[in-house]
């Protein structure tokens, strides 16, 4: 009997051990689970193109890393494991080839130490849209193979950590990734760039692209970018900046700046100081900006693309916003879906533009628009679905079909008079509405007061009448007394 009990106990113990080994979540360091690599190309899509071996295991109900790579014949390996259920990411199998790994949308929570110890030549890693926390991100997870007294660096140049649960970076996180150039931290929880995060970012001397979009940032520490002299592009969209951060002035090499969807309310002559090499600037959906002041873009001599669309309160582009506008290199200008009524014809050299879009603005037909349409390249004006403006008769007219009649003094005067009438009528209408509301309110109050008084005094009068003694003459009573 005792022997049978011991056998049952052993079986139960073995079952427990096996179940633990097969467990998907393994936060305690047991990283021994791997997907079988036998006939992996029957489960995944494998193909070779030029000198690249593509392994596509997207959405194949995988729960672990492969135990071995399929034979890729010393070609560059490009492996995709997106949309699987890999809770714990184990070490990758060995390869000396250059490799690119995509693991987005996998529900990853845990990372094994030394993920890439066996493939130090990995150059691109995409871990976006997972559940990775600040605590899981450490230099131990990204260390290279051990050689003599230290770990060798890994060759990662592109690291995508977008849309995880990271709110801070450990200062030594990138110690084994000295060649990194592209870092994407979009959609995490960086409300503030704390000191360890600043130290981590400034430890990457060759960083060229940084995405901090959609993080709820309100400011950038002034000293942060002084060490990132090679930064060429920064994306700060959908944060909470009310002004363009002064810290950007330290990025003298910057070529692309994206500030879309921020509550920025002011664009002036000092806004973009220090950004002399800027080539592309995106200012879409600035929810509070009303006008672009003089000399806002004067210093941006190399600017070729300017995006300023979907700014619902943007009404005015001052004529000197680009300074003299003659020595600019601007080639593409996008002003769609703003609140612009007019655009100064002296704003810039319109003939130098290759692309100009300004659809869906409440434009009034003017001599400015006529002169702009005459100076634009014919490749732009030949488009018949172009922008429209409103004439004095409230008729929509395509801007590129305007004639010089809009430049005649009588027409300009009539437009001006019409606009003045509209303005005065608007003021009068607002005044009348205000007076009417006041009168209605006063009348309502008077009615309420009168009604209250009527109820009060009517009730008192009724009570007094009921209490008074009524004297009635009775002739029978008088005769009896006699």
For residue range 175-192, what is the model confidence (pLDDT) as tens digits? 999 999 999 999 999 999
Q: What is residue 408's predicted lDDT score, i.e. its pLDDT?
A: 83
**What is the CB-side half-sphere exposure of residue 157 using CA atoms within 13 A?**
7
Tell how strand 158-160 and strand 122-126 pair up: parallel
Residue 258 has pLDDT above 70, yes or no: yes
Residue 165 has pLDDT above 70, yes or no: yes
Q: What is residue 382's predicted lDDT score, i.e. its pLDDT?
A: 86
Specify the pTM.
Answer: 0.79
Q: What is residue 153's predicted lDDT score, i.e. its pLDDT?
A: 93
Residue 463 has pLDDT above 90, yes or no: no
**DSSP result, 407-463:** GSHHHHHHHHHHHHHHHHHHHHHHHHHHHHHHHHHHHHHHHHHHHHHHHHHHHHHHH
List Cβ neighbours of 370 (8 Å cut-off, separation of 6 or more). Answer: 402, 403, 404, 406, 407
CA distance 59 to 254: 38
Residues of the chain with pLDDT > 90: what percent?
Answer: 66
Listed residue (225, 220, 222) closest to 241, CA to CA: 220
CATH fourth-level superfamily of 29-217: Ribonuclease Inhibitor (3.80.10.10)
Q: What is residue 33's predicted lDDT score, i.e. its pLDDT?
A: 62
List Cβ neighbours of 240 (8 Å cut-off, separation of 6 or more). Answer: 216, 217, 218, 262, 263
In this prediction, residue 385 has a pLDDT band, given cuts at 50, 70 and 90, of confident
How much is the average pLDDT of 102-124?
96
The owner of tokens 């020595």 is 327
Burial of residue 16 (CB within 10 Å: 0-12, 13-18, 19+) is exposed
* Mean pLDDT (the chain, rounded): 84
Q: What is residue 409's predicted lDDT score, i.e. its pLDDT?
A: 62
What are the Cα distances from residue 86, in Å, to 44, 132, 216, 349, 369?
16, 12, 29, 56, 58
Listed residue (136, 177, 133, 130) closest to 153, CA to CA: 177
Q: Which residue has the higher pLDDT, 431 or 83?
A: 83
Beta bridge partners of 100: 78, 124
Tokens of 441: 């309110």
In this prediction, residue 411 has a pLDDT band, given cuts at 50, 70 and 90, of very low
**DSSP result, 360-410:** S--PBP-HHHHHHHHHS-HHHHT-TT--EEE-TTS-EEEGGG--GGGGSHH
List Cβ neighbours of 9 (8 Å cut-off, separation of 6 or more). Answer: none
In this prediction, residue 73 has a pLDDT band, given cuts at 50, 70 and 90, of confident
Q: What is residue 456's predicted lDDT score, i.e. its pLDDT?
A: 55
Length of the chain measured in residues: 482
């Amino acid at each position: 009997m005792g022997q049978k009990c011991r056998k049952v106990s052993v079986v139960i113990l073995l079952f427990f051990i096996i179940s633990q080994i097969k467990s998907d979540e393994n936060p305690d360091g047991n990283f021994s689970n791997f997907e079988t690599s036998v006939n992996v190309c029957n489960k995944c899509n494998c193909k070779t193109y030029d000198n690249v071996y593509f392994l596509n295991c997207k959405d194949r109900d995988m729960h672990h890393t492969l135990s071995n790579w399929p034979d890729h014949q010393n070609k560059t390996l490009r492996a995709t494991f997106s949309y699987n259920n890999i809770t714990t990411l184990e070490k990758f199998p060995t390869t000396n080839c250059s490799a690119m790994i995509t693991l987005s949308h996998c529900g990853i929570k845990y990372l094994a130490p030394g993920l890439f110890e066996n493939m130090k030549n990995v150059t691109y890693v995409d871990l976006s849209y997972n559940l990775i926390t600040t605590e899981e991100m450490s230099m131990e997870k990204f260390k290279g193979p051990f050689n003599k007294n230290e770990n060798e660096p890994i060759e990662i140049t592109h690291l995508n950590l977008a849309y995880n649960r990271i709110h801070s970076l450990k200062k030594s996180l990138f110690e084994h990734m000295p060649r990194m150039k592209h870092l994407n931290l979009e959609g995490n929880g960086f409300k503030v760039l704390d000191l360890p995060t600043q130290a981590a970012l400034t430890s990457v001397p060759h960083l060229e692209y940084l995405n901090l979009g959609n993080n709820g940032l309100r400011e950038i520490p002034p000293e942060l970018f002084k060490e990132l002299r090679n930064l060429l592009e920064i994306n700060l969209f959908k944060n909470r900046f009310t002004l363009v951060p002064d810290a950007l002035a330290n990025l003298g090499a910057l070529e692309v700046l994206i500030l879309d969807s921020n509550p920025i309310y002011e664009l002036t002559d000092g806004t973009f100081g220090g950004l002399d090499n800027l080539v592309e600037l995106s200012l879409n959906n600035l929810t509070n900006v009303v006008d672009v002041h003089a000399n806002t873009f004067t210093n941006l001599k190399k600017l070729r693309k300017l995006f300023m669309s979907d700014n619902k309160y943007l009404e005015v582009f001052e004529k000197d916003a680009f300074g003299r506008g003659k020595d600019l290199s601007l080639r593409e200008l996008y002003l769609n879906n703003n609140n612009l009524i007019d655009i100064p014809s002296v704003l810039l050299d319109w003939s130098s533009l290759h692309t100009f879009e300004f659809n869906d603005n409440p434009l009034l037909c003017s001599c400015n628009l006529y002169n702009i349409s005459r100076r634009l390249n014919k490749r732009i004006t030949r488009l018949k679905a172009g922008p429209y403006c409103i004439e004095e008769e409230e008729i929509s007219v395509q801007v590129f079909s305007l004639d010089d009649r809009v430049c005649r003094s009588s027409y300009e005067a009539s437009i001006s008079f019409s606009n003045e009438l509209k303005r005065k009528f608007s003021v009068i209408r607002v005044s009348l509405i205000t007076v009417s509301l006041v009168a209605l309110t006063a009348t309502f109050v008077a009615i309420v007061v009168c009604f209250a008084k009527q109820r009060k005094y009517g009730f008192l009068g009724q009570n007094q009448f009921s209490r008074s003694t009524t004297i009635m003459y009775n002739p029978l009573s008088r005769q009896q007394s006699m």
